[in-house]
Structure 1
Amino acid sequence: MAETKSRILYILKYLWHNTDAEHYATTGDILTYLKENGISCDRKTIPGDIAKLCNIGIDIEEERSRENRYSLSSHLFTLPEVKLLIDAVESSKFITAKKSSELANKLSQMTSVYQSEGLKRNIYISQRVKPMNEQIYYLVDNINTAINQGKQISFLYFHYNQYREEVPNNNGKRYHFSPYYLVWNEDHYYVVGFCEKHQRITTFRVDRMKSINILCSDAVPQPKDFNLPDFTRQVFDMYDGTKEKVTLKITE
């Protein structure tokens, strides 16, 4: 029983990586792959295993001939969808160049090896400005955990000088913050919440945060009348400040 389940999973893995709408695998191809992985079976067993996969919703196309051929007709993502995701990753200023390359390669593996090779040939990581903070993905995870647990966080914050060197804010002291939301705006990630230092709801750019600690202290409750869409519309470039009414004088 265990060997049967293992065999079926290996067949699915092989079809996933080696077939698509234009590329098929013969019964012989599948048997060779199984043998390479220490599984031996009769060729008459393969159609039954394929049928079991089809019965649970796996879209496998069968072409009957002297030697049956099989292909996984549809992957989790279509080729245009994967290309779209890769383009989004490549163009994001939030994702570092190194991580962009890693994610693009992982996304290309969501297709067959034939489609993946075509995608890899077309992958180009642009030279546009990219962040240098490789820890940003773990920062986002920590912030999200704190939000879900309703806890405060503390962190260091910095900006870059003209030489792209980190300059600490707040005299190098830690901020204490109650995070409410993570917001994607203008190709940057921001955290929205209550700042102890400023005693009001404010925002911080996640890629400029360092050394985030989740504290034992419960987060300051979010005001009942706080409306995130209204807040983001009022905050220019996601930096808060005093609201002012202005008059524009236009000369013809």
Structure 2
Amino acid sequence: MDRVNNKERLLKLMEILREKTDEDHELSFEELSTQFKLSYGTEMKLNKNSLKDDIEHLIQSGFDVTINQVKEGLPKYYSHQYRLFELYELRMLIDAVVSARFITKDETKNLIRKIKRLTSIHQAKLLQNEILIDSSVKSESPMVRLTIHELHQAIAEKKVITFQYGRYNVDKQFTLSRSGGRYRVKPLALTWTNDFYYLIAFFMEADEIRHYRIDRLRNVEVTKETFTFEPFDVSRYVQSTFHMFAGSEEWIKVRFKNELINVMLDKFGKDVDIQKIDEEHFILTTKARDSEGLASWILNWGSQAKVISPPSLAEKIKTEIEKMNEIYK
């Protein structure tokens, strides 16, 4: 090919600058010409004035082209440096994708490839992820990404959805709950917590808000039935739901050792009600869902935590301690 039409040449120039250059890698006119010839063949003719016009058009259209010339008479070097994402931001995105259990291993690799295309090929090499993809904790459901799309759409359009739900049994077989019966819910929000994606929804049959692991949903269907959306505080719901166990919400008071103050602030935020009671302890007061998840969370801290109220939660903790003591006798 001897010549390329103006529009194609302009687009190719943009592609070369985006993929081959960055703040540490520049290309001279001759090197740009070489890149064109690698794509279109060695017979391609590239006029220097045409290239200058193309670069000017890119700059005028808002596409960053940095021109570097050390001194008059020396060659000019061209590069695309200012991008939508900084390198550290792309690295955070990749780490998040790798860590997300609800994304399959194949989908993880595909997303990483796409993220790397948001920078130059040189910087993409620096994005070699240090977090290994652990197949043992990755979802096996290839439909998760489609389910997420359908759920977002249903939430935006305020449409009732139905689905089947299940879990793995001790034989590692996925079995549907309620004998395969369908759940009918009003989808309220999606949240990512404890390395999993959850659907928070109003379960119409039980007349209450519940949450469901998205990788455990099967055969999701968006109905034509719409509902009126009522304001819902997702952050408060997640904060009060320990390890995503359901339960009734009530006020709790727990005495902790002072060395756990940062753990509590990380979990509940700096606005949580904390009162210092002596030189070694403080009492945390908050609303939480009384559940097995809450009891397990408190037991994590052993003798560093003591439930003050409600009595039902304190009794649940004591019963579990007695069971553990019996096992280890």
Is the pair's TM-score, using the shorter chain for normalization, greater than 0.5? Answer: yes
CA distance in structure 2 between the aligned counterparts of 1:122 and 1:242, rounded to whole angstroms: 41
Structure 1 residues 168-207: aligned runs within 5 Å: 168-207=176-215
Structure 1 residues 37-186: aligned runs within 5 Å: 37=40, 40-64=45-69, 66-120=74-128, 124-127=132-135, 129-186=137-194
CA distance in structure 1 between the aligned counterparts of 2:82 and 2:178, rounded to whole angstroms: 53
**CA separation of 1:123/1:30 partners in 2, compared to 1, >3 Å: closer, same or farther?**
farther
Deviation at 1:6, TM superposition (A): 2.7
Report the number of matched residues.
248
Deviation at 1:140, TM superposition (A): 0.7
Counterpart of 2:32 in structure 1: which amino acid?
A: I
CA distance in structure 2 between the aligned counterparts of 1:167 and 1:239, rounded to whole angstroms: 20
CA distance in structure 2 between the aligned counterparts of 1:134 and 1:50, rounded to whole angstroms: 43
Give 1:9's aligned residue: 11
Q: Do the aligned partners of 1:34 and 1:40 also contact (CA within 8 Å) in 2?
A: no
Q: Do the aligned partners of 2:95 and 2:129 also contact (CA within 8 Å) in 1?
A: no
26-35 or 159-168, which moves further after superposition?
A: 26-35
Deviation at 1:84, TM superposition (A): 1.7
**CA separation of 1:58/1:87 partners in 2, compared to 1, >3 Å: closer, same or farther?**
same
Counterpart of 1:239 in structure 2: which amino acid?
A: F
Q: Which has the higher contact order (CA 8 A, sep 6+)?
A: 1
Gaps of 5+ in 2: 250-289, 291-308, 319-329
Normalised by the size of structure 2, how large is the TM-score? 0.68
The answer to whether residue 252 in structure 2 is matched with residue 246 in structure 1 is no
Q: Secondary structure at the match of 1:181?
A: strand
Q: Secondary structure at the match of 2:165?
A: strand
Counterpart of 2:24 in structure 1: which amino acid?
A: E
CA distance in structure 2 between the aligned counterparts of 1:190 and 1:214, rounded to whole angstroms: 17
The answer to whether residue 237 in structure 2 is matched with residue 231 in structure 1 is yes
Q: Secondary structure at the match of 1:44?
A: helix
Gaps of 5+ in 1: none
Normalised by the size of structure 1, how large is the TM-score? 0.86
Q: Deviations over 1:59-105 (max 9, x none)?
A: 22212354432111223222222122111111222222221121112
Give 1:34's aligned residue: 36
CA distance in structure 1 between the aligned counterparts of 2:233 and 2:89, rounded to whole angstroms: 33
CA distance in structure 2 between the aligned counterparts of 1:177 and 1:122, rounded to whole angstroms: 40
Give 2:297's aligned residue: none
Q: Do the aligned partners of 1:18 and 1:114 also contact (CA within 8 Å) in 2?
A: yes
Q: Do the aligned partners of 2:158 and 2:229 also contact (CA within 8 Å) in 1?
A: no
**CA separation of 1:127/1:26 partners in 2, compared to 1, >3 Å: closer, same or farther?**
same
CA distance in structure 2 between the aligned counterparts of 1:164 and 1:68, rounded to whole angstroms: 63
CA distance in structure 1 between the aligned counterparts of 2:162 and 2:59, rounded to whole angstroms: 51
Deviation at 1:9, TM superposition (A): 1.6
Counterpart of 1:12 in structure 2: which amino acid?
A: M
Deviation at 1:123, TM superposition (A): 6.6
Counterpart of 2:85 in structure 1: which amino acid?
A: F
